[in-house]
Structure 1
Amino acid sequence: MTDVALALPLAEEETLAADAARHGHRIVARCSGGDELATRLAAADPELVVCGAAPQYLSPRLLDACDRRGVRLVALAAGPTERRQAAVLGLVDVLEAPAGWEAIVPSTGGRAVDLAGADPAEEILVRPVGRAPERGRVIAVWGPAGAPGRTSVAIALAAEFALRGSKVALADADTHGAAIAPALGLLDEAPGFAAACRLVAGGALTNAELDRIAQPHGTGTLRVLTGIGRASRWPELGADRVEGVLAALREWAPVTVVDTAASLEEDEELSSDLVAPRRNAATLAALRAADRVVAVASADPVGLARYLRVHADLLELVGPDRVVTVVNKVRASAIGLGPAAQVRQTLARFGGVRDPLLVPWDLAAFDAALLSGRPVGEAAPRSAASAAIRELADRLAPDPAPAVRRPRRFRRAS
C-alpha cells in the first residue's frame, strides 16, 4: 500500500480519495494548498504527493519540502497555463487533469511493490527527482507600516550575498511605495519587475529576458528588477504573475531578495467582486513563495507595537519556521538604557519572539549609503549596521542539503 498526500481542487481530491483504496493507496493527508501540505509533510510522511499545477497547489515551498524528504511529486495540470507553471518550476511528472490512479502511479516510475520479506532496518538513498537539482532561494523582506527599514535591509542583504560571489536578483514587489530604484540611483522609467510580470503572463519570461530587463548595480553580481514608479500601476502585479516571476528567478539566480509592502490584509474580504485584482496580492504571494522571510521591526515603542500587532498574522501566513525577526534602528535615545536587552525582553514577553537580530542605528552610515546610491555595506563597511547585515546573511545562508535516508518500504518496478 502506498501512502499518498493530496493537494488538489476539491472535486479532483474527492474523486481520487474515493478510489484510492481499490488501487492499493492510502490517503494520509488532504490539504487545500501546497504551502499547507509542505507544513504537514513531515507528520504525514507520504511516499507520493499528488497536487494541482496551479500556483495555489504547486508552490515552490512544496517542491522544496518534497525534495528534502525524497518524496515523489506528480502534478495534474488543467490547461497550458498550468503546464507552463510546472515547466517554469522544472517539474517533470505532469499529467493532464483530471487523471485517475491508473495514469498517476505509472508516471512516478512504476507500481509500488510490497517488500514483505525485506529487512525493516534496511535503508535506501533517496535523491530528489523530477526537476533540476539546484534551485535558487527566495528571501522576502517584510515589515509593518511606519518605515522600519525594509528597503534598506533588502538592499544591504542582497549586496552582501553578491559580495560573497553569488548571482543575486533584487526585486521590488512593493505595490504601495517602491523605493529600491531611487535608493540605488537607478532609472525606473521601465520597471523591471512589472515587465517580468507581463512576460510571465504571456509565457515569455526566459533567462534571456531576465538578463535584458534586470539592471546591473555596482561591480559585483547584483541585478535589480526595479519597482513600479507610480503606485497606481499595482494591478500589473497580480498574485499569479508574481509567483511565476519568482519561480523563474529561482532558475536564473541562486539568491533572490524581494522587497515587499507592509499590508497583510486579505482585501478580497472587503470586495464583492472576487475576480478583481488585489493590491496586497503581490506581497502575500511573495511571502508565501519565499523560503525565508526577514521581518523588520523598528526599535522604538511605536515600531515594536506595530510589529507585535501583525506578527501573529505573519506567522499564520508563512509559519514560524521561515521567519527571521530583524530589529532595525536600535538606539538608547528611543528605548532607554540597555536598548538591546529591552528589545529582546519586549519581543519575548509579548510576541514569543526569540533570538531576534538587532541592527544598531548608524545614521551616518545609512546617510552615506543614500547619498552615494550604494548599499550600506559598501558605503560604510566598518559600521555596526554593516556587521549586523553580515550576520543576517550568515543566518540565511543555506546549509548543504544531504540526501535523505528513509526506511525501505517499497521498490519501483520497471
Structure 2
Amino acid sequence: MICVLLLAAGEAWESPALADLEAHPGVVVLKRCVDVDDLLASVTSGQSDVAVVSLDAPGLDPASTAHLRRHAVRPVAVTTSRSDDLDVREHAQRLGITAVVGAGELASLASVVVSVEDAADTHARDGAAVEVLPDVVPAEDGADGGRVVVVWGPGGAPGRTTVATNLAWEVASRRTDVVLADLDPYGGAVAQQLGVLDEVSGLLSASRLAGAGQLDDRFASVCRGIGEHLAVVTGLPRADRWREVRAAQVDQLLERARASAQVVVDTGFCLEEDVGSDFGGRPGRNALTLAALEQADEVVVVGAADPVGLTRLARGLVDLRERAGGIPVRVVVNRMRSSIGWSEKEIAGMVEGFSRVAGLHFLPEDRAAVDKALVSGRPLAEVGDSPLVQGIAALADALFPVSVPSVPAGRRRRGRRPR
C-alpha cells in the first residue's frame, strides 16, 4: 500500500487527481494538505510514502523537498505547463524533484506515484545509494564532516548562550573551524555577546537563500567571520520574526555548516509543539529548537546551580529524554558556588537520578569575569584565564576531541582571538 499526501495549493487539477489516485489499487490518499507547512508537519508522522505537490505551491523550496526526503517521502510534482518545458525542468531540478507530471499527463499521475515508490524499494533492496539533493549531503558523525553540538537548557536564563558562545570560541582558538549558529526563536543574543554589530541577521539570510536554492553556494555570505576559524550565524533581530524561518531551512543550514566545520548551536528553552500545527497551521515557534535537536550529534543541557535552577534542570532532562531519543546528553551545571551548600557529588546524584548522561560538568560562578566580557563584547578567554575558562576548555575537550591540542593543556596560551 502506497500512502500519499496531496498538496494542490488550490489548483484546478486537485479534484480529478484525487479521484484517480483513490481509484488506483494500492494507493491511499492520507491527507489533502492546505499548504507547505502542513505538508512538512504531516510527513514527520512517518506514515506517508509519496507527496504529490503543485510545482508552483507557495513556499515550496529546496529545503522543503530535503525535509521530505529526510523522512523517506518521495516528491512528485504536478504542473499546468508541459513537463518537458525547459523552465519547468529547471524549476523542478532546482527544487530537487525528478518526477514531474505536466499538462495533458494527469491521467498518468497514479502510475508515476507507483513507479516512484517501486524505484525507491528497488534501491533499498539492492543496497543502492539513496537519492539526495545535490546541495544537501549530510555527513556522518565524525566522518567527512563536523559534529553538531546543540546547547539547550530550561527556562530561567541558566547560561545557554554564554556556554555556547564560549564553547565555540574555545574550539576555534585551537585552529579548528567552527560555525556558531544562533537558533533561539525568542531572540538571539550571540551577536551581542561577541560584540557583533552587524544589522543583517545571518539566520534570516540563510532562510531566504535556502528558499531560493542558493544556500550551498552562498553559505559564506550568511556567516560573520571572527578570526580565521570562527564563523557566526547571527540570530533573529526581533523575537517576532521567528515566523520567517522554517524548520526545514534550519535542517539545510546545519547540514551545510557541518559539511565544512564543527557546529555549535544556541537554542531556545521550550520544547513544546504548537498545537495549531496539528490542524494544518504553520509549525510553531519552537520548531527551530526541535529541528536543531533532530540534527544534534550531542546535546549539552545547561542548568543553574541553585534550588530553582536544579528543579528546572531535572524537569528539563525528563522532557528532553522524550524528544532526544538516543542522542547523547551532557549536563553542565552552571554558576556552581559554595554558598549553595551542596557538593558536586550531591548534585551529580540528583542529575543521574533523572537521566542517564554522557558526562557531567560544573562551571564555577565568576560574575565579575562574565560581566566584564559582556560589557566589552568579548569572550571570557580574552578577559583572562580563570577556573571558568578552564571548565569550558574541559567541556570542549569532551565534545570536540578532534580539537584537543597535542601540547599539555596547562601550556596553552589564552586571551587570543581565534586565528
TM-score range, shorter chain: 0.5 to 0.7
- Residue deviations 1:93-113, cap 9 Å, x none? xxx8654675346647x958x
Contact 2:330/2:357 (CA < 8 Å) preserved in 1? no
Instruction: Give the C-alpha shift of residue 341 in structure 1.
Output: 2.0
Change (3 A) 1:163 1:320: same
- Residue deviations 1:231-263, cap 9 Å, x none? 111101221221121122222x32111110101
C-alpha separation in 2, matches of 1:170 and 1:86: 31
Instruction: Give the C-alpha shift of residue 277 in structure 1.
Output: 4.0
Letter in 1 for 2:220: D
C-alpha separation in 2, matches of 1:8 and 1:397: 41
C-alpha separation in 1, matches of 2:93 and 2:364: 45
Structure 2 spans left out of the alignment, 5+ residues: 7-20, 28-43, 48-63, 78-90, 99-111, 404-419
C-alpha separation in 1, matches of 2:382 and 2:395: 16
Instruction: Give the C-alpha shift of residue 353 in structure 1.
Output: 4.8
Root-mean-square deviation (CA, aligned residues, Å) is 3.8
Matched, 1:173 2:183: yes
- Name the counterpart of 1:262: 269
Structure 1 spans left out of the alignment, 5+ residues: 1-6, 17-30, 35-51, 60-73, 88-95, 113-126, 401-414
Contact 2:296/2:327 (CA < 8 Å) preserved in 1? no
Letter in 1 for 2:263: T
Contact 1:348/1:354 (CA < 8 Å) preserved in 2? no
Query: What TM-score results when the alignment is normalised by the length of structure 2?
Result: 0.66
Contact 2:277/2:284 (CA < 8 Å) preserved in 1? no
Matched, 1:140 2:150: yes
Matches within 5 A, 1:202-213: 202-207=212-217, 209-213=218-222
Matched, 1:371 2:375: yes
- Name the counterpart of 1:226: 234
- Percent identity, aligned pairs only, is 39
Change (3 A) 1:280 1:221: same
C-alpha separation in 2, matches of 1:15 and 1:330: 61
Letter in 1 for 2:388: A
- Name the counterpart of 1:76: 74
Matches within 5 A, 1:21-36: 32-33=45-46
Partner of 1:276, secondary structure, is: coil
C-alpha separation in 2, matches of 1:398 and 1:76: 37
Partner of 1:186, secondary structure, is: coil
- Name the counterpart of 2:397: 394
Structure 1 runs (4+) deviating above 6 angstroms are 7-12, 80-83, 127-130
Matched, 1:385 2:388: yes
Matched, 1:215 2:224: yes
- Name the counterpart of 1:58: 70
Change (3 A) 1:357 1:85: farther
- Name the counterpart of 1:24: none
Contact 1:171/1:257 (CA < 8 Å) preserved in 2? yes
Contact 1:183/1:370 (CA < 8 Å) preserved in 2? yes
- Name the counterpart of 1:324: 330
- Residue deviations 1:212-246, cap 9 Å, x none? 231112x3411111111111111012212211211
Matched, 1:239 2:242: no
Change (3 A) 1:354 1:202: closer
- Name the counterpart of 2:349: 345
Instruction: Give the C-alpha shift of residue 352 in structure 1.
Output: 5.0
Contact 2:222/2:233 (CA < 8 Å) preserved in 1? yes
Change (3 A) 1:387 1:279: same
